[in-house]
Amino acid sequence: MILRDENSASLKYRYPIIIRVTTLAGVLVITLGFLVFPRLIHEQVLKQDIAREVEIEQIEQTQQIDRPPPPARPSVPVASESEDIAEDVVMEDFEFDDFEAWDAPPPPPDGPQVKFIPYDDPPVPIGGYSAIQRNVEYPPIAQEAGIEGTVIVQAFIDKAGRVTQTVILKGIPNTGLDEAAMDAIRKTRFKPAKQRDRAVGVWISIPVNFKLRN
């Protein structure tokens, strides 16, 4: 009876301690659960997301392109042994006097080295271009042969309006018309060309018409 009373008294004193220890242990377990469980859940979700994001890509096999073989090296010329060249062959002397001349192109026509001189107003015959026609003397040979046409003369008109040089650009040779056209232009006086307010000598092309009267 005395032993039971002692156990009851001992339990009575230890009961508050057991309750406190048990409560504290439960609180610690619950706290650890709150700390550990979310981390485990987060790691598990992260692993699932990573597993979803990782995909195996199908890498196509690269196609091997067959390159053409390099070109063959040029062969080195080798002296042929089958053909024997006579050592006593002598070239005959070539005489240029016997050479037939080939048809060479005709030389360029002789003409003045025309230098272009800029001008504002061209030279004009005094009395108009009809003054040149009035100075024309129709060659008798061309009249008898009934030859007509136009001769183009290039003439240099100096600062004083005089014709100092004439050259045939397009003529009718061997008829006397070229000479008659140049003579008619030389007899004509011109108003000189003007570069601003200054007279200058220039080259001009002048057509001269030859036409027989019916």
CA dist., res. 208 & res. 210, Å (int): 7
Q: How confident is the model at residue 108 (pLDDT cuts 50, 70, 90)?
A: very low
Structural domain contains residue 111: no
Q: How many angstroms separate the Cα of 213 from the Cα of each of 4, 29, 163, 166?
A: 177, 143, 29, 27
Tokens of 123: 């030279």
pLDDT score of 157 more than 60: yes
pLDDT score of 6 more than 90: no
Q: How confident is the model at residue 29 (pLDDT cuts 50, 70, 90)?
A: confident
* More reliable by pLDDT, 113 or 44: 44
pLDDT score of 56 more than 60: no
- Contacts of residue 145, defined as CB under 8 A and 6 or more positions apart, other chains included, come to 175
pLDDT at 187: 95
CA dist., res. 152 & res. 127, Å (int): 20
Structural domain contains residue 106: no
Of the residues 52, 72, 88, the one at which a domain ends: 52
pLDDT, average across residues 72-94? 54
pLDDT score of 32 more than 90: no
Output the DSSP codes for 4-52.
HHHHHHHHHHHHHHHHHHHHHHHHHHHHHHHHHHHHHHHHHHHHHHHHH
Of the residues 36, 52, 68, the one at which a domain ends: 52
pLDDT, average across residues 175-179? 95
Of the candidate ranges 19-23, 24-28, 77-81, 192-196, the one whose mean pLDDT is the lowest: 77-81
* More reliable by pLDDT, 102 or 159: 159
Average pLDDT, the chain: 75
Question: How far is C-alpha 71 from the chain's CA centre?
Answer: 32
Structural domain contains residue 139: yes
Q: How many angstroms separate the Cα of 41 from the Cα of each of 31, 45, 104, 123, 160?
A: 16, 6, 106, 110, 116
CATH label of the domain that carries residue 166: 3.30.2420.10
Structural domain contains residue 173: yes
Structural domain contains residue 198: yes
Site of tokens 């070539």: 94
- The count of domains in the chain is 2
Tokens of 14: 């230890």
pLDDT at 97: 46
In the three-class reduction of DSSP (H, G, I as helix; E, B as strand; rest coil), residue 57 is classed as coil
Structural domain contains residue 147: yes
Structural domain that includes position 191: 124-210
Structural domain contains residue 28: yes
Q: In terms of residues, how long is the chain?
A: 214
The answer to whether the CB of 190 falls within 8 A of the CB of 122 is no
Structural domain contains residue 33: yes
